[in-house]
Amino acid sequence: MPFREMSVMDQKREFVMFATAEGANVQERCRRFGISRTTGYRWLDRGRREGLAGLEERLRRPRSSPRRTAAAVEEKVLAVRELSNNAWGGRKIKRALEDRGEAEVPAASMITAILRRQGRLTEAGSAEHPGPWSRFERESPNELWQMDLKGHFAMHAGRCHPLTALDDHSRYNLILAACGDEQTATVRRHVEEAFRATACRSPC
């Protein structure tokens, strides 16, 4: 099945729709959309205050001293590139700048252009930037589930191992379980329960 391409605006609309749904986990939405929490909450704030118009791309560069500002931003981009041992491309550098709270963060495509102009990005390295953001999904429910153990953490009576399973079409959370371990028998029990529940909901 071909990938469905989405514009940045479409991505923002979809993120805001999912992140504002009842019971939504904003941090998890950010992870799945590949954006930082700073960016996610900024989109949500604009969407609430200004509606869809608030999600339009905005010019980050101030009107005064554009050349000086561009040079300063370029220096920050190159500094992050060097800290990554010249391994990161436009998207990772953009996210790093956002996570640092930088006021001016260029688009990933602009960062890639800066790296290429400065001779920091080879054609092989540019493979990290495949083009417009797109999301893959199956055509109908239950074709594919994505299952993950989210990493354990300490509790008063042991450790909790969160287990989740997501339907790749509907994005419906089919399993959300606090497991006492990551053993096969434990995971299998929750998966079988989800299979039975799904079969009961399916039309005969």
For residue 51, give its domain range. Answer: 4-55
Together in a domain, 48 and 9:
yes
* Segment 6-27, tens digit of pLDDT: 567 777 778 788 777 777 788 8
Assigned domain for 151 exists: yes
Examine the pLDDT at 189 and tell me if it is beyond 90.
yes
Assigned domain for 137 exists: no
List Cβ<8 Å contacts ≥24 apart for 12-21: 12/43, 12/47, 12/55, 13/52, 13/55, 14/135, 15/40, 15/43, 16/43, 16/44, 16/47, 16/55, 18/171, 19/44, 20/44, 20/47
* Segment 105-146, tens digit of pLDDT: 888 888 888 888 888 776 544 444 455 555 567 788 888 888
Together in a domain, 195 and 154:
yes
* Segment 80-103, tens digit of pLDDT: 888 888 888 888 899 988 888 888
Assigned domain for 76 exists: yes
| pTM, to two decimals | 0.36
